[in-house]
Amino acid sequence: MKLKYMKLPRLSLTNLRISKLRLHDLRLPNLRSLWMLVAALGFAIMGALVKVGSPKFGSAELVFYRSAFGLLFIYATIFAKKLPLKTPYLTMQMSRALVGLASLVLFFYAIAHLPLATAVTLNYTSALFLAILMPFILHQEFKQNPPKPILYGTIVLGFIGVVLLLKPVLNQRDILAGTLGLLSGMGAALAYIHVKQLGKLNEPDWRTVFYFTFVSTIASGAWMLTQPFITLSWHDMPTLLGLGLSATIGQLAMTRAYRTGNTLIVASLAYTTVIFASLFGVIFWHESLSISEYFAIGLIVLSGLISVYATSHLNQ
């Protein structure tokens, strides 16, 4: 009598790595779209540190140190955990990195030539562009799981809150800078769509952030070489390290939010960055908010609450 042996599936190195990546993801809370709140806090801290460092450093240096120290943090994590950097989607990773970098450069140009509130407001049109572009670029996801109409309303409501809070002003002589600022919002929307697509391909968050910070470090380093060099002191290190760390945490959380959450909910929650930034201004710089500004913050909070509640309620 012959014995029959059950054939076990063969485990490859690739399968083991994929399993390792999935286990690594499971260690983090399953916040889905709410990861954007973590990202918003990280980006608001980054903005506050930019304000601290801006009296001494120019835009090129701040972008470089933001990217370089962020690259240091993310690579140290990857090296310590022995995670693979090689990707089968290198073209898409580089495309995401270049589009994100272009959006960042346009945003800094707008900041340099427009009132800060106007530049920030134009950049936050990214949520509106995202809502417009989704049916055309993410058409498969759009057909399989069409967004609830109320989500479009929450994005518009949140943007109205941003406008009321920041009170942007645009003069006729600022048309060029305003157009480029608007393009920075469109570029940010395209970068977020790239992030969503990479998430659908199971690319881990840390790898996407690594390639973005790597490309940004090289490009901003080249930009910094065209500017007068400013000598660093030990007193600058906490600000610059904090800048890189907060930006990296923000990028990781934002990437995870778009990968695991609802695209339009994440876009709506992104407005909360403005709220955190305003609160930091009150706490650390003793800025005051008017009644209309508190009303604007209320609109942004309301838009986020409606988007989260409506989606969870309708999915039950």
The whole-number average pLDDT for the span 277-292 is: 91
Q: How far apart are CA 278 and CA 243, in angstroms?
A: 18
Residues 15-66: pLDDT tens digits?
444 444 444 454 667 788 999 999 999 999 999 999 899 889 988 899 999 9
Q: What are the CA-CA distances from residue 291 to residues 78, 177, 273, 296, 298 (Å)?
A: 46, 30, 19, 9, 11
- pLDDT recorded at residue 300: 95
**pLDDT tops 80 at residue 9:** no
Share of the chain above pLDDT 70, in %: 89
> What three-state secondary structure class fits 203?
coil
Residue 304, helix vs strand vs coil? helix
Tens-place pLDDT, residues 127-158: 999 989 888 887 777 677 778 889 999 999 99
Cβ neighbors of 161 (< 8 A, separation 6 or more) are 271, 296, 297, 298, 299, 300, 302, 303
**What confidence score (pLDDT) does residue 145 get?**
74
Which pTM was predicted? 0.86
pLDDT bracket for residue 313 (50, 70, 90): low
How far apart are alpha carbons 150 and 157 in whole angstroms?
10
Place of tokens 């934002």: 254
Which residue's structure tokens are 């986020």?
304
Could you tell me the pLDDT band of residue 291, with boundaries at 50, 70 and 90?
A: very high
Q: Given a cut of 90, is residue 12 above it in pLDDT? A: no
